[in-house]
Amino acid sequence: MKHLILFGPPGSGKGTQAKQLEEKFEMVHISTGDLFRYEIGNETPLGLKAKSFIDAGELVPDEVTIGMLQNKVNMHPEAKGFIFDGFPRTIPQAEALDLFLEGRGECINGLIALKVDDEEIVQRLLERGKTSGRADDSNEAVIRNRIDVYKEQTSPVYDFYDEKNVSQEIEGVGSIEAIFERLSTAIEAL
Sign of the Cα torsion 7, 8, 11, 17 reads negative
Active-site annotation holder among 49, 72, 89, 124: 89
In the annotation, is 182 catalytic? no
| Spatial separation of the C-alpha atoms in residues 63 and 53, rounded to whole Å | 13
Active-site annotation holder among 2, 14, 49, 72: 14
Q: Which residues lie closer than 8 Å to 58 by C-beta, 6 or more apart?
A: none
Closest among 4, 188, 8, 7 to 109, alpha carbons compared: 4
In the annotation, is 134 catalytic? yes
In the annotation, is 128 catalytic? yes
Active-site annotation holder among 37, 80, 134, 164: 134
Closest among 10, 7, 38, 3 to 136, alpha carbons compared: 10
In the annotation, is 146 catalytic? yes
| Spatial separation of the C-alpha atoms in residues 159 and 171, rounded to whole Å | 18
* Ramachandran category for residue 13: left, alpha or beta (phi over 0 → left; psi -120 to 50 → alpha): left
Q: Which residues are catalytic?
A: 14, 89, 128, 134, 146
